[in-house]
Structure 1
């Protein structure tokens, strides 16, 4: 495959896996950048969609031809067709051009020979074929440094003439977030009622769990506000600051609660062991780094150098956190198996062991779905239905929260403290059978 188009296909496929459609008006300054391709954003258009590009202070080597620098769109359909043709060279004997601007797969918008005498440009381009398009800048002169100020906007026009800066696939996301905001606040009210009603059996972990519900509800609330204002104006009006704050608090509290429940803190013992403290000392700083990476990704864009690296850092940290929170649960299960041989309270031990195993499976399922299945849904779903992956993620997350809060709710007869004499012999038999199988 020719030099100019192969990186384009690779970059587009990579960004499809690690980024979602953005919608804000982008303003940036590019200084002495020699990258052959700069990706700005993806956007799902309707038949009334448009792209706006404004350039100023453009500079490039005077010895280079201006028609070798420019912006273009690449649709999902064209990308798939290019990959198909590249795999069947006998059906496409003509070599691909060295410059992406000259490829028949892309839709050129402008080249530098269209600049005014003041080295500026400002124009809207209408989209005639609805699809998801990626906006790129191509520099077809190897090593040539380009500088410019760029303002880009992608939007769809509503029937009443107002502009919608949200991609087609994101149009339903604010409503989805709003629905779950109501659900989490209702859950918080129910949790407060349960804790007050069973206040003698409530522990410190239950207060921390209440804080998690509040942080999750506020996280979704400000995410919905952020998207709402972005849809109307193209900018989030500062709501994104609160969104990142509560996203950080929610992330730290979620992993902390999972670790503390997994260790049995506040239920089984008032203190954490040294190794469990080390897990928290690892998870919390990792969550801080993950949220810094998330803020950089969200507030900049793929057009900055190192953006892909920040995505890789975020994914790596997230996977590390997911692995770290599993260890305390496994340790607790092993400890219960060992104590079942000596504590003489088979019913209590079996109940604890069953509860921890159920919690372990729930955590594994939640992490697997939200980290793997959701990404798969994003890649295989049509751009018009990208909201489906958000709905699936939030539904599974709410189900996980409901399960965790139900299993570890404060109550007088908690599974941790089951000591029913009628069940003692059956529990002992079950434990002996389990040990035999192991």
Structure 2
């Protein structure tokens, strides 16, 4: 129970109309709908269908259906629920003030087409002014298995009487994502104009960075549209499909750009080493698929037995892959450090080394902030301020994109590109010198 309630506090599934099915499930408690921030006008609507219960073979025939049902609870009731569970107290009978029983199965006709219930939380909790609640199903009859379909709607009622399906703390997110869309669109346009104006100094990596900025911009637009429709209808109405597509493209391009920039591809060397190709071919697709799977999982109901397990695994894969893409940068730093001590070009290689270190620090800081700090912000802020974590995430992303663009902009005076030209000249001189050698010496040199 402790793990379920704690995770429920951190999960913010997008769709606020949840359809779930339970079929002869023997779990004592099941999370039906993830945590929602209610205002004083918060409501929970339940629609229960196809309810049936079954006795396990050889047990008593009498069943107390009042010990099967649904309840909502606030995170602060976690300790009391854990104590009740150890004492054998049913959550439906909990004495905790923030645990509210909504419906028990003794009030439901078995096999009925539908049982509907609308619960204003203000009528269930004294002096209710809002709060963070999750919806659970509890089965306190160990000899009974239940089957049912349920639709849950969580919403607040605005002053004009319309339903708002966004949680308190999420209600400003449509505006947040639209503002960030405008900022990223302007930044993408400026970057594209710079690449076109400096086309003689532009490399393939700069065009890839343009595609990344465009994918990120479209991701924000689809996210803004998705949250707008969720607020009005409780469902994303197709915008989630666009969000999945752009999230996949953005993830693929982002980690590709990080790896390619970190290895000096396109502006310092034309080819990738085998180990760098492995990073691109294995780690990046795995990370992107994990990231998209997390988004899809968050929109689905947590009723499934493996829901929490898969969510933990996918987050772990995401973090491991984020760390793995740092290896090419580390390899480049190590190579430059060794080269600065052996090839007689210490000044140039030390300059490269410093630039790669700067980029490495940027990537580490960005991954640490967006994967850990933002997560801690979301879990520790009051529910009314949960949108701050999304703002911090988007601002950090905009800052990272901007700094990367400044470091790698296509400009004749860019030190990165100047170093690349010097390397190209040095490689050309070495090749010319090799061709002027006798054939036997040239063969020995190539073998070395």
> Which TM bucket (shorter chain)?
0.7 to 0.9
Aligned counterpart, 1:179: 179
Contact 1:114-1:121 at 8 Å conserved across structures: no
Aligned counterpart, 2:354: 354
d(CA) in 1 for partners of 2:380, 2:296: 26
Residues 340-349 or 101-110, more deviating: 340-349
d(CA) in 2 for partners of 1:10, 1:102: 21
Aligned counterpart, 1:199: 199
Aligned counterpart, 1:103: 94
Aligned counterpart, 1:70: 69
**Alpha carbons of structure 1 residues 364 and 14: separation in structure 2 relative to 1, 3 Å:** same
Offset, 1:343: 3.6
Q: Secondary structure at the match of 1:170?
A: coil
| Aligned length, in residue pairs | 403
Aligned counterpart, 1:33: 25
Return 5+ residue gaps in structure 2 as ranges: 56-60, 123-127, 420-448
**Alpha carbons of structure 1 residues 156 and 355: separation in structure 2 relative to 1, 3 Å:** same
d(CA) in 2 for partners of 1:156, 1:211: 39
Offset, 1:171: 0.7
Aligned counterpart, 1:60: 53
Return 5+ residue gaps in structure 1 as ranges: 1-6, 87-91, 420-438
Q: Secondary structure at the match of 1:246?
A: helix
Aligned counterpart, 1:263: 263
d(CA) in 2 for partners of 1:174, 1:148: 34
Residues 61-70 or 353-362, more deviating: 61-70
Offset, 1:81: 6.1
d(CA) in 1 for partners of 2:78, 2:86: 17
Aligned counterpart, 1:46: 39
- 1:297 partnered with 2:289: no
1:13 to 6, 9, 12: 6
Offset, 1:96: 4.2
Q: Secondary structure at the match of 1:199?
A: coil
Offset, 1:294: 1.8
Residues 300-309 or 129-138, more deviating: 300-309
Contact 1:293-1:310 at 8 Å conserved across structures: no
* TM-score, with length taken from structure 2: 0.86
Q: Secondary structure at the match of 1:131?
A: strand
Offset, 1:61: 2.2
d(CA) in 1 for partners of 2:347, 2:142: 73
| Residues 387-426 of structure 1: pairs in structure 2 closer than 5 A | 387-416=387-416, 418=418
Contact 1:177-1:220 at 8 Å conserved across structures: yes
Contact 2:322-2:367 at 8 Å conserved across structures: yes
Aligned counterpart, 1:430: none
Q: Displaced runs of 4+ in structure 1, greater than 4 A? A: 80-83, 94-97
Contact 1:248-1:287 at 8 Å conserved across structures: no
Contact 1:69-1:111 at 8 Å conserved across structures: yes
Contact 1:362-1:400 at 8 Å conserved across structures: yes
Residues 365-374 or 282-291, more deviating: 282-291
Aligned counterpart, 2:220: 220
Contact 2:12-2:298 at 8 Å conserved across structures: no
2:118 to 124, 127, 143: 124
* TM-score, with length taken from structure 1: 0.88
Contact 2:13-2:298 at 8 Å conserved across structures: no
In terms of Rg, which structure is larger? Answer: 2
Contact 2:15-2:299 at 8 Å conserved across structures: no
Aligned counterpart, 2:436: none
